[in-house]
């Protein structure tokens, strides 16, 4: 059968577009297929992009890509019903090129990246949901859409979390994602003028602020982390929720975000902002969510579809891994094209590249991070304990002064967490986080 393309890439997210750009720059005949009418239209992401892997294909991306703000301050904190404790990192290096992270809105960045792929020479087709991969035995020969086949020696699967193209196939034999390795992302976008954002968050022009919270505010035992990021003239706000902790609860995702927004530490920054967008999406993160293999005869899988999202409660990073894995898949496809060989053995080079680029190491090394990230005490006892501890240390109540140790023992006792449990949890944090 004649081939229609050298490489087919499914999904114009960060992974798929990065792959298509690299392939087109190397003059491969590449098709990039996206189900949304425009790339990015359905892509929901909290929005802190660590994009330095883009240097490999778009050296001027920080000047040309529609970025929102460069992040100059990151905050991490614990929210309890009574208050909030947080740490700010302000790093002078983030104030100057090449900067650190940028806040982004995916509708803008993804449309731009797909356009870059087209400019480089890729055939970009939007508004076409690929139905399935074209399997012949254990080999992928391309894609099927509306009963029509499109053939290529190599197909890169980059269709995001809940990858319908891989579920129930030899790539991911289970027809569903593993619930234990799946999280629910909820996000809202609020319009607020640039000037108000800069005044309210103490930022200069184009400077951004990003914060992540352990949301110890859901008494039903729901475990969730929250985020708030500043864009040019909008704020992105949301929650990453442990799906298992939602079971048996009647709380709707909308109620969760309402409660997060009403916390005084968050609410004060939203005054006058107007809701303009709401969305929810699954996230499959970490080593446990990896597919059976990352490559096989005629195929490779990249980005969220491969489970390459790192989240530890302090950061969530997936776009960087999406770009890097997309680029490694593209390099492998180019080598396969040159050798006229897209066998499983040849495409295993992708696995080697994932290893050499540090992606697999990052996920393997943090394989047991869920022990810390989804420890229920992190969302119940500890935020309250931290707030009480700092409250006692930083207040004056006409009582005799106590040492930190004494205060700590008092609030620990009140929290109901034994010293042994605390030591175990502390050891887990040191070992797995």
Binding residues (CB under 6 A) for ligand FAD: these are 10-16, 33-36, 39, 42-49, 129-130, 158-160, 164-165, 185, 187, 238, 281, 283, 303-305, 309, 316-320, 322
User: Which of 47/170 has CB closer to ligand FAD?
Assistant: 47
| Residue (158 or 386) nearer to ligand FAD, CB | 158
Distance CA 329, CA 75 (A): 34
Nearest to ligand FAD of 319, 381 (CB atom):
319
> Min. distance of Cβ 114 from ligand FAD in angstroms?
9
Least distance to ligand FAD from the beta carbon of 16, Å?
6
To ligand FAD, the closest distance from the beta carbon of 160 in angstroms equals: 3
- Alpha-carbon distances of 391 from 1, 75, 84, 86, 219, rounded to whole Å: 72, 19, 10, 13, 21
User: Minimum CB separation from ligand FAD for residue 376, in Å?
Assistant: 22
**Contact indicator for 374, 223 with CB cutoff of 8 Å:** yes
Distances in whole angstroms, Cα of residue 321 to Cα of each of 18, 115, 126, 202, 432: 11, 21, 23, 31, 20
* Shortest spacing between CB 384 and ligand FAD, in angstroms: 26
Helix segments in 210-318, DSSP class H: 243-246, 253-262, 264-270
Question: Phi first, then psi: what are they for 307, rounded to 5°?
Answer: 85, 20
Whole-angstrom distance, CA of residue 93 vs CA of residue 262: 34
Cβ of residue 161: shortest distance to ligand FAD, in angstroms?
Answer: 6
User: In angstroms, rounded to a whole number, what is the distance separating the alpha carbons of residues 208 and 67?
Assistant: 11
Q: End-to-end CA distance of the chain: give it in Å, rounded.
A: 50
Min dist CB 270 to ligand FAD, Å, is: 17
Tokens 């035992």 locate to 221
- CB of 425: closest distance to ligand FAD in angstroms? 26
Handedness of CA 9, 11, 16, 22 (dihedral sign): positive
Burial class (CB in 10 A: 0-12, 13-18, 19+), 103: buried
Is the CB of 26 or the CB of 314 nearer to ligand FAD?
A: 314
Pairing of strands 123-125, 30-33: parallel
Q: Which is nearer to ligand FAD, 185 or 412 (CB)?
A: 185
Whichever of 153 and 185 has its CB closer to ligand FAD, that residue is: 185
Closest to ligand FAD by CB, 150 or 384: 150
* Closer CB to ligand FAD, 224 or 389, in the complex: 224
> Are 184 and 243 in contact, with CB atoms under 8 Å apart?
yes
* Torsion (CA) 18, 20, 25, 27 in degrees, nearest 10: 160
């Amino acid at each position: 059968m004649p081939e229609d393309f050298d490489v087919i890439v499914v999904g114009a997210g960060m992974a798929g577009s990065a792959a298509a750009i690299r392939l087109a720059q190397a003059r491969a005949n590449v098709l990039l297929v996206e189900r949304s009418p425009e790339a990015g239209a359905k892509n929901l992401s909290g929005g802190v992009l660590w994009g330095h892997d883009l240097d490999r294909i778009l050296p001027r991306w920080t000047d040309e890509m529609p970025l929102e703000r460069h992040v100059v301050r990151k905050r991490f904190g614990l929210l309890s019903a009574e208050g909030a404790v947080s740490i700010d990192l302000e790093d002078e290096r983030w104030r100057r090129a090449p900067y650190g992270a940028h806040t982004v809105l995916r509708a803008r960045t993804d449309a731009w990246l797909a356009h870059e792929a087209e400019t480089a020479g890729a055939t970009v087709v939007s508004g076409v949901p690929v139905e399935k991969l074209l399997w012949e035995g254990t080999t992928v020969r391309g894609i099927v859409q509306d009963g029509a086949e499109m053939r290529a020696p190599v197909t890169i699967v980059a269709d995001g979390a809940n990858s319908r193209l891989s579920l129930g196939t030899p790539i991911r034999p289970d027809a569903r994602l593993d619930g234990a390795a799946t999280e629910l992302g909820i996000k809202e976008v609020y319009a607020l003028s640039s000037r108000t954002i800069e005044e309210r968050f103490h930022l200069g022009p184009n400077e951004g602020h990003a914060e992540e919270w352990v949301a110890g505010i859901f008494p039903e035992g729901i475990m969730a982390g929250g985020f708030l990021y500043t864009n040019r003239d909008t704020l992105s706000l949301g929650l990453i929720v442990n799906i298992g902790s939602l079971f048996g609860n009647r709380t709707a995702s909308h109620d969760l975000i309402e409660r997060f927004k009403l916390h005084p530490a968050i609410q004060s920054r939203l005054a006058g902002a107007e809701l303009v967008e709401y969305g929810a999406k699954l996230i499959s993160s970490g080593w446990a969510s990896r597919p059976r293999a990352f490559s096989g005869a005629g195929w490779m899988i990249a980005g969220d579809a491969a489970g390459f999202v790192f989240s530890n409660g302090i950061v969530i990073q997936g776009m960087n891994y999406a770009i890097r894995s997309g680029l490694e898949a593209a390099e492998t496809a180019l080598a396969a094209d040159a050798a006229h060989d897209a066998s499983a053995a040849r495409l295993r080079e992708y696995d080697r590249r994932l290893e050499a680029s540090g992606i697999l190491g990052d996920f393997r090394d943090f394989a047991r991070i869920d022990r810390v990230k989804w420890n229920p005490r992190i969302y119940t006892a500890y935020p309250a304990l931290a707030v009480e501890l700092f409250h006692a240390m930083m207040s004056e109540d006409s009582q005799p002064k106590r040492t930190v140790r004494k205060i700590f023992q008092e609030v620990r006792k009140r929290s109901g967490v034994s010293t042994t449990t605390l030591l175990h949890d502390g050891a887990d944090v040191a070992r797995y986080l």
